[in-house]
Amino acid sequence: MENQQDILIEQRGAAGVITINRPAALNALNLNVLRGMWDALQSWKDDPAIKAVVLTGAGHKAFCAGGDLKHFHGAGQAYKRGEADLMHPVSFFSLEYSLNTLIYHYPKPIVALMNGITMGGGYGLAGNSSIRVACEETLFAMPETKIGFFPDVGAVSHLVKAPSHIGRYLAMTGNTLPGGDMVSAGLADYLVKKESFESILQDISAGQTDIVKIIQSYSVTISSSDQFLSLSEFCDAHFRFTDAQTILSSLGKESSEQAVGLLVELRSRSPLSVLVALAHYNRGMDDDFDTIIERDYQLCARFIQGDDLYEGIRALLIDKDKSPRWQHDSIESVPESDVDVCFVPCVPPLASVAL
C-alpha cells in the first residue's frame, strides 16, 4: 500500500481502492487528497488490471465532511490582502471541480462507500460516482449557505432530480438527510449495512464483473421513512416555488413548529448565499452536469472575491462564535444585481485550467 500521508492508494485484485486518510479531520479534502486521487484515477483509467474503483474514508465517522475550510481561509485571506492573485485561492477549486468532472465521466465503475458523514466536497466525490452506496450511518448535506457559500461540486445536477422539490430545500437550507432518505431522494443508489462494506470491497476485488449485482446482493430494502414522507409533503407545500419571497411568504403563513423553525434557519444563513443557491438550482433544472460544474467554478471565483465566505468560516471554525455578520441584513435587502453579478464569468473556463 502506498501511503501518501493523507490518502491511501491501493490495488486490491481487480479493484483500485482510494481511502481518504484524515479521520481526525473527518477526512476533509486538502490539496494532497485531491492531487493523490486525481493521479490515481488517471493512472487507472487505461489499466486493464483495474476493473473498478472504490472510494471510502478512514475511521468510523466520515466518508468525507467536505473541503479543508481553514486551509482555504488562509489562501483566500492572502488574496484579499493583495498578497496573491485570485487564482491562488481558486486553484484548490480548479483541482476539486476537475476531479468531480473526471469522476462523473470516468470510463470504469466508481463505487463510493459512504461510511459516515458525506457533506459538501465529500458529496462531490460520492455523488458524482457511478454507484453511490449509503449505510445507516451516512449523513448527507450541502451545508454551504451556512458558511456564506453555495452548493457546488456539481451537486445541483443531483439535487434537481430529487422528488417533491426536496433538492431546492436542501440547496437553500443546507440541512441534512440520513442514508435511507438519500436513497429515497435519489442522492444515493443503494442502502446497505455498514458492516457489508468490506464484503462488497472483497467481491469487487475478486473480479466479479457485475458490480451492480454485487451491491444489490447486500442492499437493504427500504421504504421511505415517515420523516422523509413528512419532508416531501412539507417541500411540496413550500418549496415548489422558484422565487425566495414566495417561499418565505409560504413558510410564514404556516404556524407549525417545522415551518417557524425553518424560517428562522433560513434567515440565519447568508442572505446572498441563499439567493444564489436558489438561482443556481433553478438554472440547473435545465442544464447538464458539465454546464453546472462550470457555473460552480465561476460562482466560486465570485464568492472568493466577496466577504460572506470568509465571515462564515470565521464564525464557524476560527473564532467559533457562531455569530456571522453577513454582508446583507436580510434576504429581502439583497439587491437583484448582487445575485446577478455572481453568475457573470470572471475567470477562464475550468476546462482551460492546467492542472
Catalytic residues: 67, 121, 144, 152
Q: What angle is formed at CA 286 by the lines to CA 282 and CA 290, rounded to 5 degrees?
A: 105
| C-alpha cell recorded at residue 133 | 452506496
What is the dihedral sign for C-alpha 51, 52, 58, 61? negative
127 touches 167 (CB < 8 A): no
In 3D space, the residue among 266, 30, 34, 239 whose CA is nearest the CA of residue 18 turns out to be 34
The Cα–Cα gap between 52 and 16 comes to 6
Cα torsion angle, 312, 318, 322, 326, sign: negative
Q: In which residue are the cell numbers 501518501 written? A: 4
Longest Cα–Cα distance of the chain, Å, equals 60
Q: What is the distance between the alpha carbons of residues 214 and 220, in angstroms, rounded to a whole number?
A: 13
Element (H, E) at 7: strand 7-12
In this structure, what C-alpha cell is assigned to residue 306? 466577496
Contacts of 229 (CB under 8 A, 6+ apart): none
Instruction: Compute the distance between CA of residue 224 and CA of residue 227 in angstroms, rounded to an integer.
Output: 8
